[in-house]
Amino acid sequence: MSQYQAVKGTRDIFPEEGAQWKHVESAVHRMASLYGFSEVRTPVFEYTELFQRGIGATTDIVGKEMFTFQPDPAGRSLTLRPEMTAGVMRAALQRNLLSQAPVHKLYYISELFRKERPQAGRQRQFTQFGAELLGASSPAAVAEVVTFMMQVFETLGLSGLRLRINTLGDLEDRARYREALREYFRPYEAELDDSSRERLEKNPLRILDSKNPALREMIAGAPRLFDYVKAEGVEEFERVLRFLDDRGIGYDVDHLLVRGLDYYCHTAFEVTSEALGAQDAIGGGGRYDGLSKELGGKEMPAVGFAVGMERLLIAMEKQGLFATLNPRGPMVYVVVQQSELADHGMEVAFRLRRSGISTEIDLAGRSMKAQMREANRLRAAYALFIGQSEFETGRYGLKNLVTSEQTTLEIGAIIDILRETSVEESQRG
RNA sequence: GUGAUUGUAGCUCAGUUGGUUAGAGCGCCAGGUUGUGGCCCUGGAGGUCGGGGGUUCGAGUCCCCUCAUUCACCCCA
């Protein structure tokens, strides 16, 4: 083992797995363009206050999971982004996007950083793809975002998903509900676990999604957030549900679903996969109408979601969705008989490549047998032989490595054959 | 941050109550075929047994410390 290894919670992706990433990423890009979302890229780090403001100072992310550093002792504190929404919102406000057009639909595939203890489906550097719809958060806007997300899962062939959805009401609703919850739980204070007791003051809503079975009964008897949401909020929520019904998207209304980030309001949702372990949330999101103002901007309705790429990949692997993902080898492998012919081999290889034919050639001066083994390992479709006589006559041996048939042809004819095969292969997908 | 788990070859793993030069399969390299892959046969390279300390005549095996891994809690994607 080498002296150095990847930092805790980070990992390397080698070509085999890289093909899986590419497959998923291209599905995301394709779906984004179908739904009219454009890609946005923001810096990997931001001023620390942005996250403290945006995500909320009492959240776990800000409280204990951020990679924060200060490059200049006299300068400002910086933080590796632990999520994307705050940064995207900052960028939108900085550019004054909404003065250019009232609605913007953005998406991203980006790396994030959280200083948590790694476990299955959780790393310190991880990747999310997500969308932020800025300037609207109507039921139609919510449905647009949820549908986009669910359709990505669908095209990838993922099954065993569960979409849970809830409404958190507006700030006022939640303030009233928070008080009601405190009143409800206070008599039980002694029976609560440590973290729940702490939340009682800070953020009692989070007691609701505690996994502690001992609290289950107590939580079941708690007042419902839904009952504190104003009539218009309820009506909007019902319209969201109707939109989903119309699209044939199944969901469960879960009155206990409370998202961990402070900026969510009204509709919130989460998707879990039965193919995952304890960390089974594969995606989540909701409305965050208040975030813009929190960051010093104007009122701006907004709704978005984020999906964990690593978790998505794990779930897909578990369900065998990569089984058919065979990497295609080069069209042709140029084999030279002896090292004196290597230069000529390179010349032929470059000519083939210029003609649009994927070509490989030995760069290590290995024996012919080794070259052939390599061609086979790479799954090259053809081998092109260059020996002394071929060099002299300009007619090369072309061997089909699947059928083992071999012919002798001039380079022009070879290019024609290989090009035709390339076209057929790309049409097959 | 807490708990548990596991560290032996590139990978997956054997290694008996501590006892010779630490093994297998796969992979890799070479030869069998001095101009031709896959299958087969033969050979080869590759290991500070995670690291440090201790017990012992002797430690991959026992003890302590440490680092790392994995899973779970918390929370999230």
User: What element of type H or E holds A22?
Assistant: helix A15-35
Asked if strand B comes closer than 7 Å to A377 Cβ, the answer is yes
* Chain B nucleotides with an atom closer than 7 Å to a protein C-beta: 1-3, 9-10, 28-31, 33, 35-38, 48, 50, 68-77
Task: Please report how many Cα atoms fall inside a 13 Å half-sphere around the Cα of residue A19, on the Cβ side.
Answer: 12
Residue with tokens 């980030």: A261
Q: What is the mean pLDDT of residues A36-52?
A: 97
Q: What one-character DSSP code corresponds to residue A338?
A: S
pLDDT band at A129 (very low <50, low <70, confident <90, very high): very high
Which nucleotide has its C1' atom closest to residue A337's CA? Answer: B35
pLDDT band at A29 (very low <50, low <70, confident <90, very high): very high
Asked if strand B comes closer than 7 Å to A397 Cβ, the answer is yes
- Asked if pLDDT for residue A348 goes beyond 90, the answer is yes
The mean of the pLDDT values for chain A is 92
Spacing of A118 CA from B3 C1' in Å: 14
Spacing of A174 CA from B3 C1' in Å: 35
Strand B-proximal residues of A, range 2-31, CB below 7 A, are 3, 5, 8-9, 11
Which nucleotide has its C1' atom closest to residue A5's CA? Answer: B68
CATH of A15-170+229-318, one of 3.40.50.880, 3.30.930.10, 3.40.50.410, 3.90.1300.10: 3.30.930.10
Query: What's the pLDDT score for residue A378?
Result: 94
- Asked if pLDDT for residue A292 goes beyond 90, the answer is yes
Predicted ipTM beyond 0.90? no
Q: Tell me the one-letter amino acid at A240.
A: V
Asked if strand B comes closer than 7 Å to A283 Cβ, the answer is yes
- Asked if pLDDT for residue A429 goes beyond 70, the answer is no
Asked if strand B comes closer than 7 Å to A105 Cβ, the answer is no
Asked if strand B comes closer than 7 Å to A120 Cβ, the answer is yes
Query: A399, A410, A408, A402: which is closest to A334 by C-alpha?
Result: A399
Beta bridge partners of A78: A47, A69
Query: What's the pLDDT score for residue A140?
Result: 97
Which nucleotide has its C1' atom closest to residue A376's CA? Answer: B37
Which nucleotide has its C1' atom closest to residue A276's CA? Answer: B77
Residue with tokens 């009964």: A217
User: What element of type H or E holds A105?
Assistant: strand A104-113
Asked if strand B comes closer than 7 Å to A126 Cβ, the answer is yes
The ranges of chain A annotated as CATH 3.40.50.800 are 332-428
Which nucleotide has its C1' atom closest to residue A280's CA? Answer: B77
Spacing of A4 CA from B17 C1' in Å: 38
Q: Is A273 exposed, middle or buried (0-12, 13-18, 19+ CB in 10 A)?
A: buried
Which nucleotide has its C1' atom closest to residue A406's CA? Answer: B36
Query: What's the pLDDT score for residue A354?
Result: 97
Which nucleotide has its C1' atom closest to residue A310's CA? Answer: B77
Asked if strand B comes closer than 7 Å to A372 Cβ, the answer is yes
Spacing of A125 CA from B54 C1' in Å: 39
Which nucleotide has its C1' atom closest to residue A284's CA? Answer: B77
CATH of A332-428, one of 3.40.390.10, 3.40.50.800, 3.30.1130.10, 3.30.1490.20: 3.40.50.800
C-alpha–C-alpha distance, residues A409 and A129, integer Å: 49
A338-343: Cβ within 8 A, 24+ apart: A338/A387, A338/A388, A339/A365, A341/A386, A341/A387, A341/A388, A341/A391
Report pLDDT digits (tens) over A78-117: 999 999 999 999 999 999 999 999 999 999 999 999 999 9
- CA nearest to nucleotide B29 C1': residue: A370
pLDDT band at A4 (very low <50, low <70, confident <90, very high): confident
- Asked if pLDDT for residue A261 goes beyond 80, the answer is no
Spacing of A378 CA from B68 C1' in Å: 34
- Asked if pLDDT for residue A3 goes beyond 70, the answer is no
Instruction: Determine contact, residues A196/A212, Cβ cutoff 8 Å.
Output: yes
Which nucleotide has its C1' atom closest to residue A387's CA? Answer: B35
A112-117: Cβ within 8 A, 24+ apart: A112/A80, A112/A81, A112/A82, A112/A83, A112/A84, A113/A44, A113/A66, A113/A67, A113/A80, A113/A81, A113/A82, A114/A61, A114/A65, A114/A66, A114/A67, A114/A82, A115/A64, A115/A65, A115/A66, A115/A67, A116/A9, A116/A65
Spacing of A370 CA from B30 C1' in Å: 10
Spacing of A11 CA from B12 C1' in Å: 20
Query: What's the pLDDT score for residue A2?
Result: 57
The ranges of chain A annotated as CATH 3.30.930.10 are 15-170+229-318
Q: What is the mean pLDDT of residues A263-279?
A: 92
